[in-house]
């Protein structure tokens, strides 16, 4: 089953094509980072307008890359939530019109399921059960997955998402937006033990997270520091605090539920320190670890096509009345 995937939930316009064997034939992402950078965050109105301008060329580019026409497809998968209403609407409306005109089966995909399944794009469906950590700019949640489509949310952030904390701290440090990857880069040569930042809700809150206290601690530190601490040390110390909490909570959930495999996905899973810490922790605990290759960590349409294709293969179809759901849960 050849499937076209479309993703437009936030500030990436993306389209991808999977072939009859589930192999990636096209992966096109138009990032709006440059557009939103000067505002220090995503401006919803600008995002939807940009999606509207980009959706056709992005989908055309993906089909061209795959060397297939719309008539050669057997299905369309599109993100229906969670995300920004206006952004989601552009992708869903476009997908619906293609499905109608070319008489193709349509399936709506939960963006978070896309992230969770991203490590399996190139290696085939996972074994269950698994513990999944989704860490991105908009989400930080822990899940227990017992089968494809069967997810229980164990805990979430009570304030900022981990990626949001990275971006806010990067902004405080004058690194621009989005700054997660820049903090990652600086951390490579910094001392993670230079400053002992608070580990939010490390010993309480169950499987919930909190990162706003850490962000405030960095702000307070910077106000007193007067540029004394090297940015590398500051970045590495902040990153170490985020990583320690994420690893600790995920591993303790896996132990508690006696689950031998861990999935870490979403934009922040591209982080070098996080990847290394999870590799170490899973090796010590004798657990299997699945993290997507970096290009599938941040928002893309391949993960949407992949999750949608699984659903289409299971016989799932959505009607053309399908609507977006900005607060869709997994
Ligand atoms: O998954 P994603 O593209 O979008 C959402 O669904 O939110 O995640 C984007 C987030 C941003 O906050 C970005 O700063 C962060 O992922 N990010 C990183 C790294 N690369 C991207 N954070 C830390 N280290 C990185 N290498
Ligand atoms: Zn995402």
Q: Global pTM?
A: 0.96
Query: What's the pLDDT at 151?
Result: 98
Residue 288 CA to residue 34 CA, distance in Å, equals 37
What's 127's DSSP letter?
A: P
Q: Which residues line ligand 1 (CB under 6 A)?
A: 10, 136-138, 163, 166-167, 178, 180-181, 184, 266-268, 270-271, 298-299
Q: How confident is the model at residue 7 (pLDDT cuts 50, 70, 90)?
A: very high
For CA atoms 169, 172, 173, 177, give the dihedral sign: positive
Ligand 2 ion: residues within 5 Å (CB): 136, 299
pLDDT tens digits, residue range 266-309? 999 999 999 999 999 999 999 999 999 999 999 999 999 999 99
Tell me which CATH code domain 3-117+297-313 carries. Answer: 3.30.420.40
One fold for 3-117+297-313 and 128-292 = yes
* Residue 296 CA to ligand 2 centre (angstroms): 10
Identify the band that residue 227 occupies on the pLDDT scale cut at 50, 70 and 90.
confident
Between CA 33 and CA 42, with CA 38 as vertex, the angle to 5 degrees is: 50
- Closest listed ligand to the CA of 270: 1
Gap between the Cα atoms of 129 and 17, Å rounded: 28
Query: What number does CATH give the domain 128-292?
Result: 3.30.420.40
The pLDDT assigned to 249 comes to 98
pLDDT in tens, 197-217: 999 899 899 999 999 999 999
Nearest 5°: the CA angle 258, 262, 266 is 145
Whether residue 173 is predicted with pLDDT greater than 90 in this model: the reply is yes
* Ligand 1 binding pocket mutation candidate from 36, 87, 137, 167 (most atoms within 8 A of CB): 137
Q: Show the tokens assigned to 206.
A: 């169950």
pLDDT at 149: 96
- Which conformational region is residue 215 in: left (phi greater than 0), alpha (psi within -120 to 50 degrees), or beta? alpha
User: Structural domain boundaries of the chain?
Assistant: 3-117+297-313, 128-292
């Amino acid at each position: 089953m050849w499937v076209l995937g479309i993703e437009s939930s936030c500030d990436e316009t993306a389209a991808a094509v999977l072939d009859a064997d589930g192999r990636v034939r096209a992966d096109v992402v138009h990032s709006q980072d440059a557009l939103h950078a000067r505002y220090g965050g995503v401006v919803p109105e600008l995002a939807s307008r940009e999606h509207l301008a980009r959706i056709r060329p992005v989908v055309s580019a993906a089909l061209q890359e795959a060397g297939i026409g719309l008539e050669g497809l057997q299905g369309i998968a599109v993100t229906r939530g969670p995300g920004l209403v206006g952004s989601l609407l552009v992708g869903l409306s476009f997908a619906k019109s293609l499905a109608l005109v070319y008489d193709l089966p349509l399936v709506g995909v939960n963006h978070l399921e896309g992230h969770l399944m991203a490590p399996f794009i190139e290696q085939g469906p996972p074994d269950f059960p698994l513990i999944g950590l989704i860490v991105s700019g908009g989400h930080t949640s822990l899940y227990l997955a017992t089968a494809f489509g069967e997810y229980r949310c164990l805990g979430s952030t009570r304030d900022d998402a981990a990626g949001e904390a990275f971006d806010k701290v990067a902004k405080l440090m004058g690194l621009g937006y989005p700054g997660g990857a820049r903090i990652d880069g600086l951390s490579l040569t910094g001392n993670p033990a230079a400053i002992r930042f608070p580990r939010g809700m490390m010993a309480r809150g169950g499987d919930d997270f909190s990162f706003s206290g850490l962000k405030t601690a960095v702000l307070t530190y910077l106000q007193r520091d007067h540029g004394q601490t090297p940015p590398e040390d500051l970045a590495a110390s902040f990153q170490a605090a985020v990583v320690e909490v994420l690893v600790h909570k995920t591993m303790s959930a896996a132990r508690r539920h006696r689950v031998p495999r861990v999935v870490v996905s979403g934009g922040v899973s591209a982080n070098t320190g996080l990847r290394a810490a999870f590799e170490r922790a899973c090796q010590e605990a004798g657990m299997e670890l699945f993290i997507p290759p970096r290009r599938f960590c941040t928002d893309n349409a391949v993960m949407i096509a992949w999750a949608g294709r699984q659903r289409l293969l299971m016989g799932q179809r959505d009607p053309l009345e399908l609507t977006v759901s900005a607060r869709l849960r997994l």
